[in-house]
Amino acid sequence: MSIKAMDFSLRINPSICFTQNPPKPSSKLRFLTVRCSLPLTSDDAATGLAERPWKVADARLVLEDGSIWKAKSFGASGTQVGEVVFNTSLTGYQEILTDPSYAGQFVLMTNPHIGNTGVNFDDEESRQCFLAGLVIRSLSITTSNWRCAETLGDYLAERNIMGIYDVDTRAITRRLRQDGSLIGVLSTEQSRSDEELLEMSRSWDIVGIDLISGVTCNASYEWVDKTKLDWDFNSNGRDQETYRVVAYDFGIKHNILRRLASYGCKITVVPSTWPAAETLKVKPDGVLFSNGPGDPSAVPYAVETVKEILGKVPVFGICMGHQLLGQALGGKTFKMKFGHHGGNHPVCNLRNGRVEISAQNHNYAVDPASLPEGVEVTHVNLNDGSCAGLAYPALNVMSLQYHPEASPGPHDSDCGKNFFPTSLDFCLFT
């Protein structure tokens, strides 16, 4: 082992350095020599050095517009492509991570501080994480919550989900608001060039892809998980299975099912391709078409199922279910500029003039001008005027574009009445 040494010499004039009004130059100088030595290996590499106490940038987010954002990684490693969207929720990052509607997307949180409450296993909204990755400004180095079971980084790593932090999320959000949602590639692989990642982002598209088939259940099942008393808003219908509901799983969230159960519903969850004839055979009191990811025009089989059920049983749609109902009724859907993602979207109920702060997560919307006569727009998003709710009394149809169960988010829309449009007292959401 060799020793490499460096000498530093410093010439100091004390009368000049340590007085407020330095005198004229003097020849009285002092010399200080510092010798630094470092043991080296045979290949001249330093030995015995501790790791840096800080993490350096080891990841890149490359957007299809050519911008490259260097960041630090946490969670899983590798390379992943997805659509970048921003979410304005202040809390509830675990529910967002497990919301199947985010399949194929990188979720950028505008709230800068993420991870401070860790992760628990009670707040999961599905059986796994379906999003492509998580983009945040600041990753909390500690957790503080009585329900915390593990850190956010460990949680993502175990589920093979990539995350990055120490990136300018405000600048990316402004870019998305100006240019619309962008396809991006997230990579920790230094062997891949920026040009290669840029080409990947420009050669992939989320439009027209059936994302529902990747998040739906494989077989039908009965929902048996009851809503815990601490989170239950209704005590009258609890444990009274009064109504039989068939819920189509296009990416359904657990709290939608919990809210139904708390109002006395016996729920059978079925896959997205479940035949309408099988649904009608059990003679349900109502059918729920759930939320889900992606483009409603990419799942024509689901639209046909909705058409076969309309008019035969009361139906209710949420998010993707709302869009599928709009198409089944003869309307059209379109891709929004950057969509609605967050727990602070104001919606006006046009029937009573009531304004609700809602939780939303969608990139597509129903075009109200394309709807046939008789279909009523019941709710409007006050940020951009887009359609947020439909009703067609002639066929006992009702739907909402947003998430009335609000997990996470405010519970303004969960008023315990007017869920399914029927003369029965079959109620859950406004």
User: pLDDT tens-digit profile of 95-149?
Assistant: 999 999 999 999 999 999 999 999 998 899 999 999 999 999 999 989 999 999 9
* Distance between CA atoms of residues 372 and 296, nearest Å: 19
CATH topology of domain 212-400: Rossmann fold (3.40.50)
Nearest C-alpha neighbor of 321 from the set 266, 251, 274: 251
pLDDT of 2 > 60? The answer is no
pLDDT of residue 54: 77
Half-sphere exposure of 418 (CA within 13 A, CB side): 16
Query: Regarding predicted confidence, which is higher, 35 or 322?
Result: 322
Residue range 186-205: mean pLDDT, rounded:
97
Q: Which of 345, 387, 405, 427 is catalytic?
A: 405
Q: Which of 319, 348, 387, 427 is catalytic?
A: 319
Characterize the bridge pairing of strands 397-400 and 286-289: unpaired
pLDDT of residue 64: 97
Domain chopping of the chain, boundaries: 59-203, 212-400
pLDDT of residue 419: 47
Nearest C-alpha neighbor of 408 from the set 86, 147, 91: 91
Is 124 annotated as catalytic? no
pLDDT of 430 > 50? The answer is no
pLDDT of residue 405: 81
pLDDT of 39 > 50? The answer is yes
Choice among 157-171, 227-241, 253-267, 342-356 with the minimum mean pLDDT: 227-241
In 219-301, DSSP assigns E strands to 221-222, 243-248, 265-270, 286-289
pLDDT of 88 > 50? The answer is yes
Determine what percent of the chain is predicted with pLDDT higher than 70.
Answer: 80
Taking the chain, what is the end-to-end CA distance rounded to the nearest angstrom?
76
Q: Which of 322, 362, 403, 427 is catalytic?
A: 403
CATH topology of domain 59-203: Glucose Oxidase; domain 1 (3.50.30)
Nearest C-alpha neighbor of 318 from the set 373, 255, 226, 394: 255
pLDDT of residue 422: 42
| SS3 state of residue 107 | strand
Q: State how far the alpha carbon of 366 is from the alpha carbons of 111, 187, 302, 356, 380, in Å.
A: 29, 35, 16, 20, 11
| CB 402, CB 387: distance < 8 Å | no
Nearest C-alpha neighbor of 182 from the set 198, 163, 166: 198
Choice among 6-15, 268-277, 306-315, 331-340 with the minimum mean pLDDT: 6-15
Is 405 annotated as catalytic? yes
In 273-318, DSSP assigns E strands to 286-289, 315-318
**Helical axes 320-328 vs 300-309, angle rounded to 10°:** 70
Most confident of 50-59, 66-75, 140-149: 66-75
